[in-house]
Structure 1
Amino acid sequence: MLATDKTAIIPFTANQKWVIFMLAVTQFTVILDFMIMSPLGDFMMKSLSMSPAAFGVAVSAYAFSAGISGLLTAGFADRFDRKKLLLFFYIGFIIGTIFCGLAHSYTALVAARIFTGLFGGVIGSISLAIITDLFTLDQRGRVMGFVQMGFGASQVLGIPIGLYLADIWSWEAAFLLVAAIAIVIAVMLLIKLPSVTEHLKAQRDKSAFIHLWHTVRKKDYRIGFSATAMLSIGGFMMFPFGSAFAVNNIEITTAQLPMLFFISGLSSLVILPVIGKLSDRISKMKIFTIAAVWMMLMVVVYTNLGPSPFWLVVVLNILMMMGIMSRMIPATALVSAIPQLEDRGAFMSINASMQQIAGGVAAAIAGMIVVQEHKSAPLQHYDIVGYLVIVISILSIYLLHRVAKNISVTK
C-alpha cells in the first residue's frame, strides 16, 4: 500500500525513539544557527552598517557554501558509516559557529558564514539519509514531524535567548550560545547514536564521481531536486528581512521580538507532530497542497501589514508559520521515498545542496528587491517579495504532484 493512502500507524521501538530524539536536537542547533540570522538582522545591520543587499549576501553566503559542499560530498556520502559522517560535519559546524561569534567585521562574518555552511549544510541530508535507512515510509511523516520540531524549539528556546543576549551584550553572544549547546549534543551523538552501515552492502560504483553521475542522471531524482528547490525559494525569500520588517514596518519593539518568536515557535511544537501524524494517516500530497494554499493567503496578508497591535501580529505570524512549516513535513517525506538504498546518501546530499543554493538565491533576490532608505526607515517592496513567493509556491505544488505520481508508479 502506498504511504499516500490511509494506513495504520506503525509504532516506534525504543531505539528508534532515541534516534529521533538525537536527530531532532542535532537539527535544533543547525536550524537555530541559520534561523537566528533573521531575528538578529536588525542588530547586525545597525552594528555592522549593512544595507539590506549586504545583509542578504551575509545570509546567502551560508546557503551557497552549503550547496557547494553538498555537491562535493554527494559522491562520497554512501561510502561511509553515516554516524561517522554526521559527527565529522557536525564538529566542523561547531567550529564555524564559534568563528561567527568571534567575527567583528562584515568581512569576517561572511567568511565565518561560508565556513559554517560548508559543514552545516550537509548535516540535514545525512540525518535524512539515516531516517530513510531506519524508518519505513509509513513512519516518516511522524519522524519528520518530530525532527522538524527543531525549528519550533529554536524559536521557543534559542531565538528568544539569543535575542536577549544580543540585547544585553551583543549579537555575537547568540552564536557562542549555539556552539556551546552543539558541543554537548556532539558528545551525545558519539556515545548514543548507533552506526548506520546497511547501505554499504548495496554499493556498486567504484568511483565517487561515477556514483554522483549515476544519481544525477535519473529523471525521477531530478524532479525531486527541482521540487525541493522551489520549496526552498518559497520558504527563504521572506526569511532574511522578517525581523527588520516587524520592527521598522509593523512597529514591533526589539523587546517584543523574543516574545513574538517564542509564541510562534511554541505553536509550531504543537502543530508539527499533528501534521506528521496526518501525513502518515492521510494523503501526504493533500496535506501539502492545503498547507501551501493556506501559506499563500497568509503571506499576502502579512507582507502588506502596516503598524499593527502586537496581539494581531502574533496571531497572523502563527497562522503564516503554520502554513510554511506544514508544507515541509509531507514534502520531505515524499521526496525521501524517491532514492534507492544505494543512492540515498548521494541523493540527500544533492537534494540538500539544491535546497541551500535555492535558499541563497532567494535571500539574494529578496535583498535586491527590498529597499531601506536609512537604518530605521520602513522596508519598501516587501510585499513584492510576498507575491513572488506565491508564484513559486504554485510551481512547488505542481512539482511535488509529479514526485507523488512517480512514487505511485515505482513504489
Structure 2
Amino acid sequence: MSQPLTHPLHTIQKERAIIFILAALQFLHILDFVIMMPLGPVFMESFKIDSAAFGLLVSSYSISAGVFGLIGALFLDSYDRKMSLLVLFFGFSVGTLLCAFAPNYPFLLFARIVAGGFGGMLGATVLSIIGDIIPVFRRGTATGVVMSSFSVASVIGIPIGLSLANKFGWQFPFLSLAIAGFLILPIGYKVLPSIRYHLDSDVHPKQSQLKSLIQVVTKKDHMAPFIFMVFLMFGGFTIIPFLSPFLVSNVGLVFSDLPYIYFFGGLFTFFTSRFIGKLSDRYGKLTVYQIISIIAVIPIVLVVSLTKTSLPIVLTITTLFMILVSGRMVPAFAMITSAVEPRIRGSFMSVNSAIQQISSGVASYVAGLILVQAPDNQLVNYELVGMISVFSLLFSVYLAKKIKIAG
C-alpha cells in the first residue's frame, strides 16, 4: 500500500518514476485526441461529411472535456489524486473502446463525447500532480517531459496508428489504445504514491469544493491565466485539426505521406520540448514563451500559404511549425501551473483545463465553418484561419505578462 504523500518528493529517482508513468498516461490520452486529425481525410470520405462536420467531430471531444472538467472542479480536490487519476483513466479507456466499435457518424460523435468527458478531467489531474509533488525549480523540466508525450505520440503513435488504419481500418487504432489503457492501469496503481498533500487540514484548512470553485473563478489573479489560455488555444487549434485535409486536398500530398509529417515533426519536438523546458527554468518561463510565440508566426504563415509543393519542403515547414507551436506550450503550462496555491490547485487546473478544451473545440469548429470545400475538394479560406491564429498568438504574448506566479 502506498504511503500518503505529505510533502513534495525530494528523491530524484522516485520523481523520475512518477513522471514516467504520468507521461505514459498522457501519451495514450494525447494520442487518442491527435490521431483524429491525420485520419481527417478518411473520416470525411468514409462518413461522407464536410469540413464543418469533421470540425464538430474534433470539437465534440474538446467541448465535452471542458464541460466535464468544470464538473470535476467540484470534487477533484476532495480525493487522493492517485485514485482520481486512475478512475478517470479507466473511464477514458472505455470511451476510446466505444470509438473502435462505432458503426456510424452519430455513434462516433457520442463516443468522442464520452472519451472527452473523462479526458478533460484526466489532463487537469496530471498537471495538478506535477504542481503538488515537483518543486517549482524543476517544474518546467517535469512539465516538458510530460508535454513531450505529444512528440512521442507524433513520432511513434501516429505513424503506427495510420499504418493500422490503412491495413485493418480506422477502428483499429482506437481498439489498440483502449487495450493499452487497460493494461497500464495496474502499473500506474503500483508506481504512483498516494497524493494527499492538498487534503492536509493542518496545512490547508478544508472548505467546500463549490466555495473553492467560486474562489478560483472570482479571484482576480486567476483571470489573466484563464484569458491567456483562450488565446493560447486559438493560436494553434484553428490550424492544427485541418492540417492533414489541407495537405492532401490543396498541397498534393497523398494519405501515405502524412505519417512523415507527424514523424519528423514529433521527432524534433521530442527533443526540443525538453530543451525548451530547461530554457524556461534557466531564463524564465515568460521570456521563453514570448520569444517562441513571436517566431512561431513565420511557420504559421508559411503553412497556410502552401500550394502544390514537394514533400521535402512541406516536411521542413510543418516540422518547424510543430516545434514552435507545440514548444510554446511548455513554458505556458509551467506558468499556469505555478499561478495558483496548492490548496485549490486541483479546482484551478480543472477550470483552466475546461477553458483550454472548450477554447480549442470552439477554435476547431469556427475554423470548420470558415473553411469551404470547393468542387475539386480543395479547402478554401485557410489563409483567413491563419490570420486568426497569428492574431491570437501575438495577443497571448501580451497576456502572458499579466500572469502572477503563486508558487
When normalised by structure 1's length, the TM-score is 0.94
Unaligned runs of 5+ in 1: 1-9
Is contact 1:291-1:323 (8 Å) kept?
Answer: yes
Is contact 1:78-1:203 (8 Å) kept?
Answer: no
Tell me the residue number matched to 2:38: 39
Q: Does 1:97 align with 2:96?
A: yes
Tell me the residue number matched to 2:290: 289
What is the CA–CA distance in structure 2 between the aligned matches of 1:90 and 1:394, rounded to whole Å? 35
Tell me the residue number matched to 1:243: 244
Q: Which residue type is aligned with residue 291 of structure 1?
A: I
Report Cα offsets for 1:17-37 as digits up to 9, x if no partner: 001101111110111011011
What is the CA–CA distance in structure 2 between the aligned matches of 1:368 and 1:23, rounded to whole Å? 36
Tell me the residue number matched to 1:29: 28
Report Cα offsets for 1:44-79 as digits up to 9, x if no partner: 110001110001111110111100011111021111
Q: Alignment RMSD, CA only?
A: 1.4
Q: 5 Å matches for 1:194-209?
A: 194-201=193-200, 202-209=203-210
Is contact 1:137-1:333 (8 Å) kept?
Answer: no
Tell me the residue number matched to 1:379: 379
Report Cα offsets for 1:138-168 as digits up to 9, x if no partner: 1111111110110000011111111111112
How big is the shift at 1:135? 0.9
How big is the shift at 1:232? 1.3
**Greater alpha carbon shift after TM alignment, 228-237 vs 360-369:** 228-237
Q: Does 1:184 align with 2:175?
A: no
Q: Which residue type is aligned with residue 363 of structure 1?
A: S
How big is the shift at 1:205? 4.5
What is the CA–CA distance in structure 2 between the aligned matches of 1:283 and 1:203, rounded to whole Å? 29
Tell me the residue number matched to 2:314: 313
Tell me the residue number matched to 1:110: 109
What is the CA–CA distance in structure 1 between the aligned matches of 2:118 and 2:109, rounded to whole Å? 15
Is contact 2:199-2:206 (8 Å) kept?
Answer: no
Is contact 1:83-1:194 (8 Å) kept?
Answer: yes
What is the CA–CA distance in structure 2 between the aligned matches of 1:12 and 1:386, rounded to whole Å? 45
Tell me the residue number matched to 2:267: 266
Q: Secondary structure at the match of 1:306?
A: coil
Unaligned runs of 5+ in 2: 1-8
Tell me the residue number matched to 2:299: 298
Q: Which residue type is aligned with residue 199 of structure 2?
A: L
Q: Which residue type is aligned with residue 78 of structure 1?
A: D
Tell me the residue number matched to 1:5: none
How big is the shift at 1:228? 1.4
**Greater alpha carbon shift after TM alignment, 283-292 vs 81-90:** 283-292
What is the CA–CA distance in structure 1 between the aligned matches of 2:258 and 2:127, rounded to whole Å? 31
How big is the shift at 1:373? 2.7
Tell me the residue number matched to 1:61: 60
Q: Secondary structure at the match of 2:37?
A: coil
What is the CA–CA distance in structure 1 between the aligned matches of 2:185 and 2:317, rounded to whole Å? 36
What is the CA–CA distance in structure 2 between the aligned matches of 1:230 and 1:377, rounded to whole Å? 30
Q: Which residue type is aligned with residue 315 of structure 2?
A: V
Q: Which residue type is aligned with residue 353 of structure 2?
A: A
Q: Secondary structure at the match of 1:256?
A: helix
Is contact 2:234-2:388 (8 Å) kept?
Answer: no
Is contact 2:261-2:319 (8 Å) kept?
Answer: no
Tell me the residue number matched to 2:326: 325
Count of residue pairs the alignment pairs up: 397
What is the CA–CA distance in structure 1 between the aligned matches of 2:50 and 2:206, rounded to whole Å? 48
Tell me the residue number matched to 1:347: 348
Q: Which residue type is aligned with residue 91 of structure 2?
A: G
Report Cα offsets for 1:322-366 as digits up to 9, x if no partner: 111111011111111111111100001000000000011101100
How big is the shift at 1:309? 0.7
Q: 5 Å matches for 1:100-249?
A: 100-201=99-200, 202-249=203-250
**Greater alpha carbon shift after TM alignment, 226-235 vs 380-389:** 226-235
What is the CA–CA distance in structure 1 between the aligned matches of 2:140 and 2:278, rounded to whole Å? 6
What is the CA–CA distance in structure 2 between the aligned matches of 1:291 and 1:180, rounded to whole Å? 37
Shift >3 Å, 4+ stretches: 202-206
Tell me the residue number matched to 2:83: 84
What is the CA–CA distance in structure 1 between the aligned matches of 2:286 and 2:339, rounded to whole Å? 14
Q: Secondary structure at the match of 1:305?
A: coil
Tell me the residue number matched to 1:358: 359
Report Cα offsets for 1:231-285 as digits up to 9, x if no partner: 1121211121111011111111111111221111111112111111111111211
How big is the shift at 1:169? 2.0
Q: Secondary structure at the match of 1:255?
A: helix
Q: Which residue type is aligned with residue 230 of structure 1?
A: F
After superposition, the Cα gap between the structure-2 partners of 1:310 and 1:137, relative to the gap in structure 1 and judged at 3 Å, is: same
Tell me the residue number matched to 2:397: 397
How big is the shift at 1:12? 6.5
Tell me the residue number matched to 2:257: 256
What is the CA–CA distance in structure 1 between the aligned matches of 2:305 and 2:33, rounded to whole Å? 25
Is contact 1:160-1:262 (8 Å) kept?
Answer: yes
Report Cα offsets for 1:72-102 as digits up to 9, x if no partner: 1102111100000001110000000001111
Q: Secondary structure at the match of 2:193?
A: coil
How big is the shift at 1:206? 3.7
How big is the shift at 1:208? 2.2
Q: Secondary structure at the match of 1:78?
A: helix
